[in-house]
Structure 1
Amino acid sequence: MKALFLNCSLKTSETASNTDALYKEAEAIFQQEGIESENIRLADYKIAYGVSDDEGHGDEWPAIFEKVKAADILIVGTPLWLGEKSSIATLAIERLYGGSSLTNEKGQSLYYNKVGGVVITGNEDGAKHAAASILYGFSHIGITVPPNVDAYWVGEAGPGDSYIEANGQKNDFSTGHAKTMAYNLIHFARNFNENPIPAKGNTME
């Protein structure tokens, strides 16, 4: 089984990501449970605006989308800016939506039998708002959202240290949510692997 983490930091992989640091709490559990995990920093790629699976003209989303299609678990990670998910996270959700008309061999959305979660970091309010936006997007296109799959860290209100500088890994609330997210995603993904959603009544024909 495979887990894919789409890190929607505005920084490229040359710079440390607080969102990535929190995700590693879940990634460690995936590894312990034999789940293959891949981490993609979307800022490293040229991803076109649009709502299709391939916008052409050098768009690098199609290669990422192939990894999405192969994944059993999909997690979107985002920093908070002005109480919102990042612009790259919005772009990722739009591009995922662009593939929602594609179907599996049963005629269902190709996102059926995948499970999704979200990781959020910042030093300001907005984590629950951003999580609600991303997780609703998942559910709308066919990705199943298990309970308690939003792991986040926002520190104290107002300007201050971010997750890494503040030793957020010592925060029991945030690391505990990352642990719960990982195990719940694994449980549901394994269930769907053995008992996929029946096609009756929910094909796109």
Structure 2
Amino acid sequence: MLDETQEKLCDENTTDFSDLKALILNCTLKPTPQGSHTDKLLGIVETILHRNKVNAERVRVADFDLAPGVYPDMTEHGWDRDDWPKLWEKVDAADILILATPIWLGEKSSICQRVIERLYGHSGQTNDKGQYIFYGKVGGCMVTGNEDGIKHVGMGVLYSLQHIGYTIPPQADAGWIGEAGPGPSFGDEREDGPPHGMDNDFTRRNTTFATWNMLHFARMLKDAGGIPAHGNSTELWSEGRRFDAPNPDYR
């Protein structure tokens, strides 16, 4: 799965990442066991994580029944079934969250959008410092398709993650698109040579950079005990702390 350069980077790594947990949510529209081009790209990411002893899990979101809504458990708001609480346990435990999605009509998949909405349902929760619950966690995304839109999709996903509190490292997105129009997708076999996209240096480089940057930022945040709470604690703000901010003059 990894090329020579990627293997060498893993072999030469001296940082201990073994206490980190990563959750990869594949937001393909295809349930298991249907093939997923997004899954094939994620194989590179997951291999790098595992080679560095990260506790990484890849989940196909289409295998779950996620009710629409922006509350932690939508069975409390009129829906008969909601599998999100099962996924939330994994999200809550992860130091790194990677959202992966195909491109449809220039946008992230409907499943990816629903995941973001369900994440938003927890945005009012706080950690033990009084910060929003996603502070101290790292986010990133992977994108596949055969039309233009990687940067557009990455922009939307990464903005959403940082808005609710995730830390986004540099170049925390990567993807592959083939020629515009109908054609092969990432990982499709061809008569001669490696599967489509596997030999694309640009995609391999960006996927590698994104994965390592997420690892490095997760390591730094965990070692630092998260993000300092001065100036960003909702609990302290509610108690009247203003962190030296001047009071507005209403005169």
Q: Match for residue 24 of structure 2?
A: 5
Q: Match for residue 232 of structure 2?
A: 202
* CA deviation map 1:78-110 (0-9, x unaligned): 000011100001101000011111111111111
Structure 1 unmatched ranges of 5 or more = none
Number of equivalences: 205
Q: Match for residue 189 of structure 1?
A: 218
Q: Is residue 104 of structure 1 aligned with residue 108 of structure 2?
A: no
Distance in 2 between residues matched to 1:170 and 1:144, nearest whole Å: 30
Bigger radius of gyration, 1 or 2?
A: 2
* Greater mean alpha carbon deviation, residues 167-176 or residues 145-154: 167-176
* Greater mean alpha carbon deviation, residues 195-204 or residues 70-79: 195-204
* CA deviation map 1:152-196 (0-9, x unaligned): 001111111010115211111111111111110000000010111
How far the C-alpha of 1:62 sits from its partner, in A, is 0.6
How far the C-alpha of 1:11 sits from its partner, in A, is 0.2
Please report the TM-score for the alignment, with normalisation by the length of structure 2.
0.80
AA of the residue aligned to 2:218: A
Q: Match for residue 3 of structure 2?
A: none
Distance in 2 between residues matched to 1:102 and 1:7, nearest whole Å: 25
Q: Match for residue 157 of structure 2?
A: 134
CA contact (8 A) 1:47 1:59 kept: yes
Q: Match for residue 44 of structure 1?
A: 63
CA contact (8 A) 2:184 2:196 kept: no
Q: Match for residue 84 of structure 1?
A: 107
CA contact (8 A) 1:97 1:141 kept: yes
User: SS where residue 198 of structure 2 aligns?
Assistant: helix
Q: Match for residue 179 of structure 1?
A: 208
Distance in 1 between residues matched to 2:135 and 2:32, nearest whole Å: 30
User: SS where residue 59 of structure 2 aligns?
Assistant: strand
* Greater mean alpha carbon deviation, residues 16-25 or residues 138-147: 16-25
Any runs of at least 4 consecutive aligned residues in structure 1 with deviations exceeding 2 A, and if so which? Answer: none
Q: Is residue 20 of structure 1 aligned with residue 49 of structure 2?
A: no
Structure 2 unmatched ranges of 5 or more = 1-19, 189-194, 236-251
- Pick one of 94, 108, 111 that aligns with 2:117: 94
Distance in 2 between residues matched to 1:52 and 1:169, nearest whole Å: 39
AA of the residue aligned to 1:171: N
AA of the residue aligned to 1:137: S
CA contact (8 A) 2:32 2:60 kept: yes
How far the C-alpha of 1:76 sits from its partner, in A, is 0.2
* CA deviation map 1:58-93 (0-9, x unaligned): 200011011101000000000000111000011010
CA contact (8 A) 1:84 1:129 kept: yes
Q: Which has the higher contact order (CA 8 A, sep 6+)?
A: 1
How far the C-alpha of 1:151 sits from its partner, in A, is 1.1
- Pick one of 36, 59, 69 that aligns with 2:92: 69
How far the C-alpha of 1:17 sits from its partner, in A, is 0.9
